[in-house]
Structures are given as C-alpha cells and as structure tokens.
Structure 1
Amino acid sequence: MTSAPFPFSRIGIVGLGLMGGSLARSLRTLPDPPSVVGLSKEPHDIERAMRMGIIAEGESKPESFFSGLDLVVYCTPLNTTLVLLEEHRDRLDPGTVITDVVSLKGPVMEKAKELGLQRRFVGSHPLCGGEGTGLDASREGLFTGSTVWVVAGEAEPATVEVIRGFWRALGAEGVSTQAEGHDALMAVVSHLPQLAANALALALEEKDVSRDDLGPGGKDMTRLAGSSPEMWMDLLAHSPSDLRDGLASLERWLAEIRGLVEEGRGEELQRLMARTQDWFKRTRWN
C-alpha cells in the first residue's frame, strides 16, 4: 500500500523559532519536500535558515510572502498569532490553507472566524516542544511520534483532511478535538504542571539549591521551570477557569501533605502516597 502524496508544494512558515525552525527542518527530510518560505521579524534568523538550507526564501515583511502559498503555518506565540492573522488576512491568496501550532485553540479559532477565514483555517496543537527558544533550539524530527490535536472548527472537511495528512507525513498523529474541551484539558495537564514547576523552583532557590544539586527526579520535576516566561504570559492570560480550579486543588493537597508531615502522621501520608502510586500505575502512558 503506497502512502498518499504530500498535499502541499509551497509552504509558508510564520516564525522561525523552536516550532517553526523544527517544522522547516522536518519538511526538508520528506521524500518529495515542498518549497518552504519563512517569514520572521528577525533578519538574522532568515539568513541562517537559508544558509542551513531549511527554507528556500525568507522575508522579514509580509508584502510578498504570501504569493503562491498552498499552506501557511503560524508558529508564533498566541497573542502574536492573533495580531498577525488580522494583519495578514487581506494578503492571503484565496486558496491558501491556514493552520497554527498555538497550544490554546479557542482564541485562535475565534479570531479566524471573526476574520472570515474559518472555512480554510484548521487549528493544530502538536504535543511536543522543549525548554529552549529560537532557531537554535529547533531540531529535525521534533514532531515524529507526537500527537497533534486538530480542531476543525468550521473548515471544509477536505481542508481538515489535508491538514491531518500534513502532520501524518511528518510522523505525527492528528487527533480531532473541539477547542473548548481542548483548552480545558490543557489548563490542567500543561498550564498547572508549568506553574507547579515554577513554584518548586522558587522553593528550591530559597533554600540555595542549584540545578546541579538535584538528582534525576528533581531535575525531572523542575524541567519546566526553564520554559519561556514570555510565551507563558500569552497562554496564561487566556487560560480557562480550569487552571484556577487546578491551582486551588494543588494548594489544598500541599496543605494536607504539610499537615501530615508536621504532625508526624506517617501512616496517613503513606496511604496518600499509595493512592498517587496507584494513579500512576493505572493511568501511565504506553
């Protein structure tokens, strides 16, 4: 059985940071790679990406960027994406398909509808990334084996399918979801762990603990503390109320654990830890 041909021949990537740079690197490895054009406000990123051979052309201004593109992928932070969609709407060719990689989908889908782009806009959220930022942090194969949440919104079914095919060609699996449910889930599985890691890092800093002092478990627990604050401010400003509920629950459990430790109630603490161990075993990933 032969695989379906890659659905796009000329792709524009807006933003050449971790996600955009990784996308350009990964597209280059396809059997019949498309022509990739980059748009970035950083001229040196364009120059470097061209020297690396991961984009064929690059622009720092949008005037001539969109001509002839089959697909545009916005690889920019949430608020930047919202602003750029509005700025770029009238420059997009009528047949250009649009997607993004923002990790909250509701605000982006609403903006696409507001701008009249909903029939050709499909939201995407690849569940992959890293602590680093910028083109230097990008890597080939970032999307391989990852899940990509795909939000159809009001897009044409054929458009949704070509976006799923796009991610499939990069080794990822597109999973359909709705924006509201997706964002509620991200608030507790992504935003809550991020803030918990920030809090843990602050507690360690108060005790004059450095990253070098940590063992493997401590390093795992604090890895997210190195994430970009600028990126997270965008997301947290739009995070649904599920995040506040999650923080309240975390605070409540920390207070419970503190009380057990202070009062020397070891048996109850052991039962609590056994409960979390059971959760870990029952719900662990494959």
Structure 2
Amino acid sequence: MRPTRSLAALATVSALTLAACGGDPTQDPSATEEGDASKVTIGSGNFTESTILAEVYAKALQDDGVEVEKKLEIGSRETYLPALQDGSIDLIPEYIGTLATYFDKELAVTDADEVYAALEKSLPEGLEVLEYSEAENADNVVVTRATADDQGLEKISDLEGKAGDMTLGGPPEWKERAQGVPGLKKVYGLEFAKFRELSAGGNVTAQALENGQIDAANIFTTDPSIVQKDFVILEDDKDLFSAQNVVPLLSSEVADDTVSESLNKVSSELTAEDLAQMQIDVTDGKTPEEVASAWVEENL
C-alpha cells in the first residue's frame, strides 16, 4: 500500500503545483476571468447623435484594449432593446428618461437622480446601466421664431386653445409614448389637429418645421438645427419630460472592470455642448467616426 500512497501523494502535489502556476490542464489557457469581455458589440439608434455616441464608446474601448464590433443605426428603441436582450449586441448609448419610461409606463419622477434610481430598479435581468453623463438630450416641443412671436408662445401650456389648429411632428414612437403625444394630452390637455411621423433626429424634422409642413416639433436639446435655424424651445412648465442624461446600457456579461471604467470616463467628460458640436461637425461633412475619435483623443 505504501507505493500506492506515494504515487497518489505525488499526483496530488503535482496537480496543486500546476494549479498554483496557472497550469491546470483542465483550464482552457485562452479563457478569460469570469465577467471579462473578450469582445463588445456596440449598437446605435437610427439617428446621428446615437451613432456618434456609439462611435465615442467604440473608440474609448479600443483605446483601452477592448475588441469592438459595431452594428450601427439599428432602429428605434423598440427594435434595438430586443437585440440587446438576445445577445445580438452588447452595448448601446441610451437616455435615462425615455429608457426608464419604456420599462415603467407609470414613471412619475423627472429629476435625474430619481429617474436613474427608478431605471436601475426596472431594468430586466441581464441588463445594467453605468454612470450617467452630465450631457443631456431631452425631448422638447419646438416652434419657429415666427410662430412663437405670432402666437405668443413661450411655454408648452401657451399652446392651449391653439394646438387644435396645428400639426405636430416627431418620431413615430412619440405617437404612443407616455412622454409624447399621450403625455401632451394628459398633462397639458393638448390635442393637435394632426401628428406627422418623422425621422427621430435632425434634418427632416427641422426642414419640415422651417418649411411650414408642421407647426411644432419634437426636436432634441442638442440638435444643432435649434441654434442654426433660430428655433424656439417651449418651456416644459408642467414637467412632462424626464431628465434625459446620456447613459451606457449594456449586457451584464460584458460589464467587466475594463469596460465599465472606460465608459465611465466618457460619461464623466461628455457635455451637451460637445454633443451639439459633434453633430455640427457631421453636418459639415465629417463622419461620426471621425468626430468621435477626435473627441476621445482630446478629452480622454
């Protein structure tokens, strides 16, 4: 029995030595530690700002040694959230207010911290958000300067008694969202003569408003057309619209330390002015990837 014990003891010592040196033959040497992401697939919504943000995330992650694949301009939230949940993508830039409302139709808070806390509680298992940015791109009701002057419009409640003769334009999802057309009716008592479905961002909506094809529009805070065309943002005097700070939404499977720290750095530096300027740069002919890379190189 002694030789058997000796061989067994030797085998045990050898196994422990291999394990201590990282040489456990049962362990795949190419495997990463639990929670580490070998590759992150980044998606974006179907509007310029979302694409720019996705490119910013991609560049920041690549600079920190993370392999990145991009699947951009997927579509609306109703399209890309299922893609995130089924693993087609791992990460997408989001906005805390509309995302929280998507998962909690009865959301009543509008303050950024409160919205973020509600969002964390309502996220489905397997998804998480990282730190949110100071940069915010909130929903607005916007009119031309001429319309504001002619109709005496400064705040959304000033549309009472006038909306019935006006056409409102906005993204298709706004027709059903609680902080879209239904919210304007519920909170402000406004019923527009017509709602015209338009692209979620920028040029199409701005041109329709400027050309008189619509009388009011949902145009986001950082859209450069507001400054370029001297549009007037009507004050949300009854707090219909939630805080809309930019936040990374990602699969928990890829939320390792490297990915989280990289994206949190982006959130800590990004401002609404940065987003507006990057969109102007794209309008002037640069690609989203070019403006995103330049921002990352300058700020991170």
Q: Give your verdict on TM over 0.5.
A: no
Select the structure with the greater relative contact order (CA < 8 A; seq sep ≥ 6): 2
TM-score (norm 2): 0.29
Larger Cα Rg: Structure 1 or Structure 2?
Answer: 2
Q: TM-score, normalised by structure 1?
A: 0.30
Greater fraction of residues in helix: 1
